[in-house]
Amino acid sequence: MDLDRAALLIQSEFSFLQRVHAQWSLTEGPQDMELVAHALRVLLHMGKAGESLPEYLALVKTQHTDGGWGRESSEPESAAWVSAFCGLMLIRANTSLKNEEIEKSLWRSIDYFLQQQSADGRWKDSEWGDLDTTSHPVSFFNVVLALGTPKMKDAVRASWRKGLRFILDNQSEDGGWYDPVFQPSGVETTAHLVQDAVIASLTLPDGLPVRPACEKGLNWILNHQDADGSWDEKNMDHTMDCTRSTMLISRLLRAEEKARPAIEKAIEWTVKFKNAEGWPDFPGMETNLERTCDGLDVLLKYEAWRQGDPMESARRWGYVAGEPEFLKGALAGV
Amino acid sequence: MSEPKQPVASESELPEGSSKLVTVDGKEVALIRAEGALYAVGNRCPHRSGPLVRGKVEHVPENPADPSSKTTLAVRCPIHGWLFELSTGRCLTRPSASVPTYPVECDNGQICIG
């Protein structure tokens, strides 16, 4: 896709997201926390974290005393999947915000996951399969190991290794990850696990040997793309997951040429079936705000994928320390 | 939905193995014909509002964590895989959740809910 076209789409969709601020921002009232985390990720990738301190402090305020977050901001019970997403947004935003309250919140979040891990390395969440759930704290810890303080890194290393081992041990021979209860088809689970949990080891100083697992995972995802460019029968959510996963893995494995046709086709499909404002769950359906955040994230990661520096893709997942290109604007404004 | 039966689709619109979204009293309902029977369930998954009308119908164990439990017919949410028993609407993957079900029958070539 032409990058100018992608940039225009990003601007118009981001304007839409800003216009519906009341529907996702904790500064405006109680919210669905998964949607909040999705929207904060967009702010981060738009280079707006540095000017959005109130959004991230509002996230800190909704954290429970055990260090987790609820599915809804008003829900008292913590849940692992969304808690990891919230922790991830805080640690990444704090690379530019450098806020003490956020750092304290991060420690509470780390403690929550250290407490919640099962003996075999997994984490549990009643709304998600164990593999998918486990991939989220592992992803959070990946980013702690990349961006956290030395003390934070020391605190999470053993737990992270155990969680990652649980995921690696559950990869199938064909390269996919399957959840017999929640995701027997394996599409979303494989896309989540390989990008959120496994691939980061290639960029971390003491990562596990994951290259073969990632190569098999990438092949599995490419082999499951439908002829029209989508995955899982025009499923927008799963297509976006697989597109992002393919971009990151192919970049870090230096398999761009092999993956390029699949990525370009998926991006064209994703743009073709967006609504006038936002993205639906399936073509023709009404706009879903969470999917709209995912759509923006896909286009922002596509921009990174098209850049010359392969590490720029890894930076969009927070797996590489240093000053990411996309944060430079935000840092300049602080 | 205590109103008299409401025609929502013609039988020919819903062949075996297909699904159709209809609206009844402002509520989205997924009409599903599977294994010769008609089902009408609330369309939105209580997890992340996935459209059940796009879900796959499967024979699954009543307790998905126990493959030896007896099987039942369920629809799987296409977004994150939650399973709902078609005859009762109860969620098999998260027992505290459910979707509404509605009485459905055919009358003179019309599918009626109510």
Nearest CA in chain B to A33: B48
Residue to mutate among B28, B80, B96, with most A CBs inside 10 A, is: B80
What does the pLDDT read at residue A332?
Answer: 36
- Which residues in chain B are closer than 8 Å to A281, comparing Cβ atoms? 50-51, 54, 78-79
Residue to mutate among A71, A81, A85, A182, with most B CBs inside 10 A, is: A182
Distance from CA of B98 to the nearest CA of A (A): 13
CB-CB contact of A276 with A20 (8 Å): no
Nearest by Cα to A162 from A202, A203, A116: A116
**DSSP label at A308?**
S
Summarize pLDDT for A45-77 with one digit per residue, the tens. 999 999 999 999 999 999 999 999 999 999 999
Query: Has this prediction a pTM greater than 0.80?
Result: yes
Residue B78, chain A, CB below 8 Å: the answer is: yes
Q: Residue A185 above 50 pLDDT?
A: yes
- Which residues in chain B are closer than 8 Å to A288, comparing Cβ atoms? 49
**Residue A308: pLDDT band with limits 50, 70, 90:** confident
Mean pLDDT of the region B11-38: 95
- The torsion region of residue A232 among left (phi > 0), alpha (psi -120 to 50) and beta comes to left
Question: What residues contact A84, with CB distance under 8 A and at least 6 apart?
Answer: A113, A136, A137, A139, A140
What does the pLDDT read at residue A227?
Answer: 98
Residue B61, chain A, CB below 8 Å: the answer is: no
What does the pLDDT read at residue A329?
Answer: 40
| Interface touch B78/A232, C-beta < 8 Å | yes
Q: Count Cα neighbours of B101 within 13 Å in the Cβ-side half-sphere.
A: 17
What is the signed CA dihedral for A200, A159, A127, A274, rounded to 10 degrees?
-20
Q: Residue A313 above 90 pLDDT?
A: no
What does the pLDDT read at residue A90?
Answer: 98
- Which residues in chain B are closer than 8 Å to A180, comparing Cβ atoms? 64, 67
Distance from CA of A186 to the nearest CA of B (A): 10
What does the pLDDT read at residue A325?
Answer: 53
Residue B54, chain A, CB below 8 Å: the answer is: yes
CB-CB contact of A245 with A211 (8 Å): no
What does the pLDDT read at residue A307?
Answer: 86
Determine what percent of chain A is predicted with pLDDT higher than 70.
Answer: 96
Residues 85-104 in B contacting A (C-alpha not used; CB under 8 Å): 93-94
Residue B64, chain A, CB below 8 Å: the answer is: yes
Summarize pLDDT for A17-49 with one digit per residue, the tens. 999 999 999 999 999 999 999 999 999 999 999
What does the pLDDT read at residue A326?
Answer: 46
Mean pLDDT of the region A269-274: 98
Summarize pLDDT for B47-78 with one digit per residue, the tens. 999 999 999 999 999 888 888 999 999 999 99
Question: What residues contact B68, with CB distance under 8 A and at least 6 apart?
Answer: B61
Q: Residue B2 above 60 pLDDT?
A: no
A264 alpha-carbon distance from chain centroid: 20
| Interface touch B81/A288, C-beta < 8 Å | no
Residue A135, chain B, CB below 8 Å: the answer is: no
Nearest to B51 among A126, A181, A281 (CB): A281
Nearest by Cα to A192 from B7, B51, B79: B79
| Interface touch A179/B51, C-beta < 8 Å | no
Summarize pLDDT for A137-167 with one digit per residue, the tens. 999 999 999 999 999 999 999 999 999 999 9
**Residue A324: pLDDT band with limits 50, 70, 90:** low
Nearest to B78 among A126, A184, A235 (CB): A235
Q: How high is the mean pLDDT of chain B?
A: 93
| Interface touch B51/A282, C-beta < 8 Å | yes
Summarize pLDDT for A195-248 with one digit per residue, the tens. 999 999 988 888 899 999 999 999 999 999 999 999 999 999 999 999 999 999
Nearest to B94 among A127, A285, A288 (CB): A127
